[in-house]
Amino acid sequence: MTTKKFKLICDNISSISPFIRFVGVIGERGELLAYSRRQELTPLLDDKNTKYQFSHIAMNSDLEAFFDKNLGEVEFVWEERKKVQTISFAIKKAIVWVSIDKKVIRSEMLRIIDSCLPIVKKHS
């Protein structure tokens, strides 16, 4: 898949909700292939920690794939942290990682997830 398509995925997902902070497509080695960031925000992670986070996501995806045969493929992962919520989706060997404001209520998170799934499935 091309960088242009990855950028389109990022733009489509970031337009779903004003609460989305960041959307990135991460390659299988943890490299950032494309992204979209809400302009007025200061990132929560510096460059070094961002690279570590993306490497961590790539490694976890590889580990999760080990259980796909028995449990089925992961459709998405939703993580709640003290400062932010994240969701991630697999597109072939890439991961779409989305960070969302912490203050978002669960019904809005579910709406965001439900809106992301058709975009991701279209490219999977």
User: Per-residue confidence at 30, pLDDT binned at 50, 70, 90?
Assistant: confident
CA dihedral for 33, 54, 102, 76, sign (positive or negative): positive
Average pLDDT over residues 59-83: 76
Specify the DSSP class assigned to residue 41: P
Determine the 3-state secondary structure of 86 from DSSP: strand
User: Per-residue confidence at 57, pLDDT binned at 50, 70, 90?
Assistant: low
End-to-end CA distance of the chain: 10
Alpha carbons 5 and 44: distance in angstroms, whole number? 26
Determine the 3-state secondary structure of 40 from DSSP: coil
If one looks up domain 3-123 in CATH, what number appears? Answer: 3.30.450.30
